[in-house]
Amino acid sequence: MAVAETTINRPLSQLEKRLLDEYQDGLPLSPRPYAVMAERLGHREGEVIDTLQRLQQAGLISRVGPVFRPNRVGASTLAAMTVSEQRLEEVAALVSACPEVNHNYEREHALNLWFVATASDKDHLERVIAEIESRTGIPVIRLPMLEDYYINLGFPLHWG
pLDDT in tens, 77-89: 999 999 999 999 9
Phi, psi dihedrals of residue 20, rounded to the nearest 5°? -65, -35
Angle CA 104–20–102, to nearest 5? 20
- The residue segments making up the domain with residue 129 are 75-143
Q: How many domains does the chain have?
A: 2
Q: Are residues 98 and 52 in the same domain?
A: no
- Pseudo-torsion of CA 98, 2, 23, 77, nearest 10°? 50
- Whole-number pLDDT of residue 147: 80
Q: How far apart are the first and last CA of the chain?
A: 28
Instruction: Find the angle CA(149)-CA(154)-CA(159) to the nearest 5 degrees.
Output: 160
pLDDT one-digit tens code per residue, 37-64: 999 999 999 999 999 999 988 888 877 8
Residues 119 and 82 reside in one and the same domain: yes
* pTM for the whole structure: 0.60
Over residues 89-106, mean pLDDT: 92
Q: What pLDDT shows up at residue 7?
A: 65
Query: What three-state secondary structure class fits 145?
Result: coil
Confidence grade of residue 71 (pLDDT, cut at 50, 70, 90): low
The crossing angle, in degrees rounded to 10, of helices 14-22 and 45-57 is: 80
